[in-house]
Amino acid sequence: LSAPGDAHPVRHDNKTRLRVSWRSLQPATFNTMPISMYSQTIPLFVRLLTNLSGILDKTAAHCAEKKIDPAVLLGSRLFPDMFPLTRQVQIGCDFAKGAAARLSGREVPSWPDEEKTFEDLKNRVRKALEYLATFTPADIDGSETKQITLKRGGQDVMMTGEEYLLCLLYTS
User: Residues 45-79: pLDDT tens digits?
Assistant: 999 999 999 999 999 999 999 999 999 999 999 99
Higher pLDDT, 16 or 121: 121
Give CA–CA dist 103/146, Å, rounded. 7
Residue 170, pLDDT score: 67
- Which residues does 23 contact at the CB level (< 8 Å), separation at least 6? 4, 5
**Cβ atoms of 42 and 51 closer than 8 Å:** no
Q: In angstroms, how far is the first alpha carbon of the chain from the final one?
A: 45
Q: Hey, what's the torsion of the CAs at 64, 69, 71, 72, to 10 degrees?
A: -110
Q: Which amino acid is at 108?
A: V
Residue 167, pLDDT score: 82
Q: What is the mean pLDDT of the chain?
A: 86
* Beta-carbon count within 10 A of 79 CB: 5
Listed residue (142, 169, 158, 127) closest to 41, CA to CA = 169
Grade residue 1 by pLDDT with cuts at 50, 70 and 90. very low
pTM of the model: 0.78
Residue 2, pLDDT score: 45
What is the percent of the chain with per-residue pLDDT over 70, rounded to a whole number?
Answer: 78
pLDDT per residue over 109-120, tens digit each? 999 999 999 999
